[in-house]
Structure 1
Amino acid sequence: MPAPEEASPSPLAVHAGQALYTRSFLRIYDTLVYRVNSPLTWRCPKERLVALYDRHVSGNHLDVGVASGVLLDECRFPVPAPDLTLMDLNPSSLAAADRRLRRYRPRLHRADVLRPWGLPHGSVDSVGMCHLLHCLPGTLADKAVVLEHARLVLKPGGTLFGATIPGSGVDHNRSARLQLGLANRHGIMSNRLDRPEDLDAALAAVFPEHEVVVTGSVALFWARTG
């Protein structure tokens, strides 16, 4: 399969999706996201996401869109000293996750996920992508280039896994609808048109094996290379 063409979303739209992750916001991120929003608004508790990591994370792992690094901090790696790379466009997120995960001595890689990642092809056994896709501009068809970028860096038999919040096609409660409206107006999320079936189709176009499971308002997914 040929390398994907570079996407060309508005630089302002790309920036908006990650600009919230300042040093001050990251200090309250775990409380706001995983003690409040995940269990109450999105109805997918942190434990469900950590379990997704436990099931699919490898000893040679790349995490994309790292936020505070809490899921990597709490998951069980299959080896005591994993080879870990953290990738994000936001330097504050990279710094926060690096501090939290310093025991693993992770490599840091700053890059825009919508453009070629600048990492060796076939170099990792797993890629984590949690709560990233709903922050990227465009429709899921536009964002699908990210899945192809992930496929390129995975080894044969490697696994991509993660979670995203679709804007439609799932059962949102009142709090979720309010937060989605606010986040989309400010460009923090761009997921009004994202649907689980579109994610399923995008994964199927890139990977020979995949699964999408909806928990609350969240679509959990995994996909494996051939």
Structure 2
Amino acid sequence: MTAHEERALAGVQSYSRKMLAVYDLWILGVVCPVVWHCSRGTMAAHYARNVGKRHLDIGPGTGYFLRRTRFPVERPEITLVDLNEDVLYTASRRLAKYRPSTFRRDVLRPLGLGDSRFDSVGMNLLLHCLPGDLTEKAVVFDHVLPHLEPGGRVFGSTVLSHGVKHGLLAPKALEALNRDNDMSNAEDSLEQLETALAKRFSEHRITVRGSVALFEAKQA
């Protein structure tokens, strides 16, 4: 296994089926609002505002938000991408009524999705799990651009270490999670995210809630 692959796998190994079984309750229901000061309701509204009829979700977690959002069509086309087989299994089962396509991919490399095009691409709570700083991991935006329809949206959220106002519990949580390789965002900043989006998209917006930056961007 290459050093790159080891680093990429480190950020997803903690998401076992056992962990995913409590993810919605613990991570989305407790950690996000209490530690990061951003509720799952806020993230759900972010999905509802941006999701399209042909949607690619990178790092879908348990499929919680996709299961609850209101799509603009009755039968959306959903594609799930993750490096972790347990994530793909869990999310695809939860979204079974939509018959999603699933692909095991390292998103820091070209996605290899052929001629597939999407109206929206979601990256919720993804970037802070990828190795490197935001300047490096922003390559994921480059990898989705060839698959984005004109006017399509890229949106998501990420926990940042710099440029945001942390609550009392966040600094120690960030230190521990980075030490244990559950996160890789010790150097991630709001400025880096702003630069990465401005460089690649004709329009973008970032909304900060506590330690979390919610972003949305599109090409003309």
TM class, shorter-length: over 0.9
- Is 1:128 matched with 2:122? yes
- Is 1:204 matched with 2:198? yes
- Deviation of 1:58 after TM superposition, in Å, equals 0.5
- Is 1:144 matched with 2:144? no
Distance in 2 (CA, whole Å) between partners of 1:35 and 1:122 is 34
Distance in 2 (CA, whole Å) between partners of 1:9 and 1:128 is 27
Distance in 2 (CA, whole Å) between partners of 1:10 and 1:104 is 33
Q: If the length of structure 1 is used for normalisation, what is the TM-score?
A: 0.94
Q: Is the 8 A contact 1:87 1:94 kept in 2?
A: yes
Distance in 2 (CA, whole Å) between partners of 1:85 and 1:18 is 19
Q: Is the 8 A contact 2:159 2:213 kept in 1?
A: yes
Q: Alignment RMSD, CA only? A: 1.2
> One-letter code of the match for 1:168?
H
> One-letter code of the match for 2:137?
K
> One-letter code of the match for 1:183?
L
- Is 1:57 matched with 2:51? yes
Distance in 2 (CA, whole Å) between partners of 1:54 and 1:83 is 15
- Is 1:10 matched with 2:4? yes
2:154 is aligned to 160
Q: Is the 8 A contact 1:9 1:137 kept in 2?
A: no
Distance in 2 (CA, whole Å) between partners of 1:130 and 1:28 is 18
Match of 2:177 among 183, 196, 221: 183
Match of 2:68 among 58, 71, 74: 74
- Deviation of 1:179 after TM superposition, in Å, equals 1.3
2:19 is aligned to 25
3-state SS of the aligned residue for 2:200?
A: coil
> One-letter code of the match for 2:16?
T
Once the two structures are superposed, what CA deviation does each residue of 1:64-105 show, in whole Å capped at 9, x if it has no partner? Answer: 001111011111111111000011000000000011000101
3-state SS of the aligned residue for 1:10?
A: helix
- Is 1:192 matched with 2:182? no
- Is 1:119 matched with 2:121? no
Match of 1:173 among 167, 179, 185: 167
Distance in 2 (CA, whole Å) between partners of 1:95 and 1:115 is 22
Structure 1: give runs of 5+ residues left out of the alignment: 1-7
Distance in 2 (CA, whole Å) between partners of 1:45 and 1:76 is 18
> One-letter code of the match for 1:98?
S
Distance in 1 (CA, whole Å) between partners of 2:68 and 2:161 is 28
Distance in 1 (CA, whole Å) between partners of 2:85 and 2:169 is 30
Distance in 1 (CA, whole Å) between partners of 2:172 and 2:148 is 37
Q: Is the 8 A contact 1:121 1:154 kept in 2?
A: no
Q: If the length of structure 2 is used for normalisation, what is the TM-score?
A: 0.96
Distance in 2 (CA, whole Å) between partners of 1:122 and 1:34 is 30
1:3 is aligned to none
- Deviation of 1:167 after TM superposition, in Å, equals 1.2
- Deviation of 1:207 after TM superposition, in Å, equals 0.6
3-state SS of the aligned residue for 1:37?
A: helix
- Deviation of 1:121 after TM superposition, in Å, equals 4.8
Distance in 2 (CA, whole Å) between partners of 1:182 and 1:121 is 41
> One-letter code of the match for 1:112?
D
Q: Is the 8 A contact 1:122 1:155 kept in 2?
A: no
2:96 is aligned to 102
Distance in 1 (CA, whole Å) between partners of 2:204 and 2:3 is 27
